[in-house]
Structure 1
């Protein structure tokens, strides 16, 4: 199993800065630019269209669309357009809504709905995108049993929705639960921070992870990669070999720090 690497980027001060982020991601060896879906960040589809136009190889993906915010037909329409404009480089990521996503839905005039209703909306959106003539790969973010089942059965890529402080044991348990429902082509895990030590994790990350990021990292939280490039590469190889996790998302604030890890892994995995 070969690795793939995505940069998770949310905003920029100017259009030129956004395009520079996309170009830098491509130059550093990342495979995908992934954009969240929140009202505090850039709107995913136009941001990804701009990024695709500014790059040659970089794939672009939503990470992830909150299902209540858009009707399935709207998502399919946007996806069809971006798949064309990007020359087939789109990945459509969708989920039932992160914690706090109900406030975004309210601001957008959408009904957030019950967990069951949101699950059905994800399934309906998957069907709508699958019906496109040039259907892009579909990623589903999942953490609970019903969504894990849907993702295992219907998605090409499953993004594990674990809290950043989750342990390696909890990661393995979620992967086992996912694979009890099916065997997706790819499993994705996000990295919130890259640092040599837990003490080197920046304090500004606390707001993003909802707690003391340094304590989470020191306790072995799976969203934190620590050590030099070789050590971090070793952690990711072990997760790939033991758990089948080969698609790694990285916070864009750390993409330069992570670039040597990409080089280390690709040197050791030339295939």
Structure 2
């Protein structure tokens, strides 16, 4: 396998998973604040029971700030491939090229969600075929003049193979208590010969656990004890040092946090964004 040594990590950027958890005016104010803090991307999860659909929400978000917007991430089993591609392409057009399509095979428990929605259960060994169909259709819709960036949330070998071929950004699905050494090896085993952007999903900052990025039983102390990369200290100086270490040693250049810690990490983003 070709490792992250295929090329240097790119400039640092920072995204925020910012679902609509309050009234819409308060959410819009939150987005304006994220823009003022220097974050690059507003991200929305794809869970029907939690909030409005990500596509319309992101279209609105893109009119409020000039930040990039993206899904974190579309669940392929609940979405027909061509419709997903059409929506993603449309968002690219409507935002002037500021949309990024994050896609994966769904959160843990997706089978129960499919039953509730009356949708057929999709075996795991077929889900990455669905992802490939979405990206293929998206590239056809984009044509020669557009390129919607695709971020993939990947776990096993089949997922990594698809991402190595098709993704612009890769984030790794891993147990939250996985150690730094194990995650580092996971990234080094990834075939990154195209030098795609590597993103790190960080659901726990200090004692704060992002509800849309980690389960309710997540234990911040356990992550800290495991030296997990799903954890970041809340002290800005320590967080800055740790982010730079993760870029230098592993190659991560895109960091994604929950909206609840955006203001805590604002000094870090102001210092590091674009470096």
Same fold (TM over 0.5): yes
Report the Cα distance in structure 1 between the residues aligned to 2:147 and 2:268, rounded to whole angstroms: 32
Is this contact kept in 2: 1:187–1:245, CA < 8 A?
A: yes
Q: Shift of the alpha carbon at 1:217? A: 2.2
- Aligned equivalent of 2:12: 3
Pick from 130, 141, 154: which aligns with 2:139?
130
Pick from 107, 127, 150: which aligns with 2:162?
150
- Aligned equivalent of 2:239: 232
SS at match of 2:120: coil
Count of residue correspondences: 261
Q: Which has the higher contact order (CA 8 A, sep 6+)?
A: 2
- Aligned equivalent of 1:263: 270
Is this contact kept in 2: 1:153–1:184, CA < 8 A?
A: no
1:27-66 → structure 2 map (5 Å cutoff) = 27-42=36-51, 43-56=53-66, 58-66=67-75
- Aligned equivalent of 1:191: 202
Q: Shift of the alpha carbon at 1:130? A: 1.3
How big is the alpha-carbon RMSD for the aligned residues of Structure 1 and Structure 2? 2.0
Is this contact kept in 2: 1:153–1:182, CA < 8 A?
A: no
Q: Does 1:163 align with 2:175?
A: yes
What TM-score, normalized to structure 2? 0.88
Q: Shift of the alpha carbon at 1:266? A: 4.0
- Aligned equivalent of 1:198: none
Pick from 20, 33, 41: which aligns with 1:24?
33
Structure 1 unaligned residues grouped into runs of 5+:
196-200
Is this contact kept in 1: 2:105–2:131, CA < 8 A?
A: yes
Report the Cα distance in structure 2 between the residues aligned to 1:71 and 1:47, rounded to whole angstroms: 19
Report the Cα distance in structure 2 between the residues aligned to 1:95 and 1:55, rounded to whole angstroms: 26
Report the Cα distance in structure 2 between the residues aligned to 1:210 and 1:106, rounded to whole angstroms: 24
Is this contact kept in 1: 2:13–2:254, CA < 8 A?
A: yes
Report the Cα distance in structure 1 between the residues aligned to 2:199 and 2:260, rounded to whole angstroms: 19
Is this contact kept in 2: 1:164–1:221, CA < 8 A?
A: yes
